[in-house]
Amino acid sequence: MALADDQQFCLRWNNFQANITSQFEALRDDEDFTDVTIACEGQRMQAHKVVLSACSPFFKELFKVSLCFITFCLLITGRYDGQVWLH
């Protein structure tokens, strides 16, 4: 069957909203594909940057800043020692 050039078709996922909501809940409960650890009051929680940043401007801006581990360690160490050694 040949299609005319001006024909368009839309494929729609009927239960998309319900499915995506249940999949986000499943992602929260399963630590597969987590890429960030949030620590608060001595507790840790695994999460997904894309989900947090989609729902929160705070997390979106936080995750845009990309620090390498060594730079991050220097910043933290400097807060304890009052000095940072650069080589």
Which percentage of the chain shows pLDDT scores above 70? 93
Q: Which two tokens stand for residue 77?
A: 């160490």
CA distance 59 to 53: 5
- pLDDT, tens digit (0-9, with 9 covering 90-100), for 5-38: 788 889 999 999 999 889 988 988 888 899 999 8
Residue 70: the pLDDT is 78
Domains of the chain, by residue range, sit at 16-81
pTM: 0.61
CATH H superfamily, domain 16-81: Potassium Channel Kv1.1; Chain A (3.30.710.10)
Quick check: 31 and 46 in contact, CB under 8 A? yes
Q: How confident is the model at residue 48 (pLDDT cuts 50, 70, 90)?
A: very high
Which percentage of the chain shows pLDDT scores above 90? 26
Residue 3: the pLDDT is 64
